[in-house]
Amino acid sequence: MAEIKQNKKHQTSTIDTYGLVVKQNKTVSLISVTANDSNHAQAQADDICRAIQATGFELSYGKKRETNVSELFKKLAFNDFTYKECYLWSGSVSNSNPCFYIFNKRFYTRAVILKYLDIPKEDTQIKLTCNCNLCVNPYHFSYCSSSNSKLTNGDLKLLKAYKNEGVKVAQIAELLNVHRGTIYRNFKKI
């Protein structure tokens, strides 16, 4: 057991900074990327390009200026979020939603996070569990099928299981902390 502690003590992890030049048509932007190694940087570059719909990129080694967008992608790459704390967006806000600008276009930060994490956006609406408009912590997202939905997608799966087990509507409503009418309306959907 002492050997394991010694080996862990001598292990060192290096974190490098890269410059990611993203391209869309003739517009170019620079994003600083922090990674463990070049393979990690390449994977991040692919994820970032998918998330912001870039058509191409160039990755170069070297320290670049950090921005709030760079910091967000760094936190996503290293999963540096906690359930307990909000991660407040320090950049631009439009329509009470955190956003940033690349390629002379506005990107809503939470939608970009969904694309970066490869979560399909088609019929997914994000509701924040922390009720903080500036929070972009993915652990504080709950996913709903519509913006007015009282139940998350996970709640709907629970509802289906409760219904199949024969649990009474009043009991389900109490468990999911909604009105009985909400349960009856959602019975039709499942």
The DSSP code sequence of 123-188 is T-EEEESS--TTB--GGGEEEESSTT-SS-HHHHHHHHHHHHHT--HHHHHHHHTS-HHHHHHHHT
What is the spatial distance between Cα 141 and Cα 185, in angstroms, rounded to a whole number? 24
- What is the predicted pLDDT for the residue at 11? 44
List average pLDDT for each run of 10 residues in the chain, which is 190 residues long.
40 76 92 91 94 93 84 93 93 94 94 87 76 92 73 81 89 87 83
pTM: 0.73
Count of positions (residues) in the chain: 190
- pLDDT the model gives residue 7: 42
Q: How far apart are CA 143 and CA 148, in angstroms?
A: 12
pLDDT at 15: 82
CA gap 31, 70 in Å, rounded: 6
pLDDT at res. 156: 81
d(CA 45, CA 68): 16
- Give the pLDDT score at 146: 66
Nearest to 103 by CA among 44, 19, 20, 30: 30
> Cβ-count burial of 134 within 10 angstroms (0-12 exposed, 13-18 middle, 19+ buried)?
middle
